[in-house]
Amino acid sequence: MGERNPNERAEAYAVGTLVRAWVAILTISVLLYGIFLLKIEPVGLRRALLLLLALVQAWLGVGYYMHLKFERPSLVYTVLLPLLLLIALVVFAIGEGVYVRDIRTLFYGG
C-alpha cells in the first residue's frame, strides 16, 4: 500500500513542465492580441514585436508539445531545414515581385 511508483515524480515533473509551457504560450497569446489591438506606433516596431513573439510561441509549441526539444538534432533539422528554405523562397519571391512592380511602373506608368 505504501509503495510508490518510481516514475511518479518524473511524470509529475513532465506535467508541470507542460503546464508551464502552456501558461507561457497563453501569456504570449494575450501579449500578441494586446499589441495588435493597441496599434503600437511605429508600424515596423509593432510588426517586429508580433513576429518575435509569434516565433517564441511557435518554439515553445514545437519544443514541448511536439517534443522536439528533447529529440536528436537530425530530427530537428528535418523540421527546421524546410522551414528555412521556405523563408528563403519567400524572400526571393518578394524581391522578384518588387522588381516586376518597378518595371511595370517604369514602362506602363503608375
Residue range 60-73: mean pLDDT, rounded? 77
Location of C-alpha cell 511595370? 104
User: Is 48's pLDDT higher than 50?
Assistant: yes
User: Is the whole model's pTM more than 0.75, yes or no?
Assistant: no
Helix (H) or strand (E) holding 29: helix 8-38
Look-up of cell digits 509529475: 12
Q: Worst-scoring range by mean pLDDT, 4-18, 33-47, 69-83, 86-100?
A: 4-18
Per-residue pLDDT tens digits for 5-41: 655 554 545 788 888 989 999 999 999 999 989 988 8
